[in-house]
Amino acid sequence: MPIKATLKQLVESRHALDAFAQKSWPSASIKISYALGKLYRGALDELKQYDEARLKLLKEHGDEIRPNMWRVKDEREHVDAYNEGIKQLEEVVKDDLYGKQITLAQIEEAGLPMSPAEWALLDWLIIEG
């Protein structure tokens, strides 16, 4: 069953998802670990496409200040256009991330420690049931 998340949720949870995917799941949770791995790869693909679109916006509305380092031009029209483009990108809903949400019980059974920040950022992935 596909998981639904906005690009904004994926962007904001990128580091928490990295940390969560790196955790060592017990062998009894191999199905969860496998499903999370597939979801993680799909999320990374979406984030790569997001980064490419963001760079395109930067090139259109910015200046290269050093090789491969861009900054939005100071003119209001460029700042507004860039911000609007990012807003539109972040509102895109990805409803085809392969995997299924993980329950609190599964995380608890696996004994995976998570910080309050990770819980908050991964709320699109974790369900109570």
Residue 57 and residue 85 in contact, taking contact as beta carbons nearer than 8 Å: yes
Which residues are within 8 A (CB) of 40 and not within 5 positions of it... i.e. 6 or more apart? 17, 21
- The pLDDT, as a whole number, for residue 26 is 76
Token pair, residue 94, equals: 């990805």
pLDDT, one tens digit for every residue, the chain (129 residues): 678 899 999 999 999 998 888 887 777 678 788 888 888 999 999 999 999 999 999 999 999 999 989 999 999 999 999 999 999 999 999 888 887 788 888 888 888 888 889 889 999 998 887
Alpha helices in 7-121 (DSSP H): 7-12, 14-22, 30-61, 76-90, 104-110, 116-121
Q: What range defines the domain where residue 67 resides? A: 3-127
- The pLDDT, as a whole number, for residue 71 is 95
Q: What would you measure as the largest C-alpha separation in the chain, in angstroms?
A: 56
Number of domains making up the chain: 1
Can you give the pTM of this predicted structure? 0.83
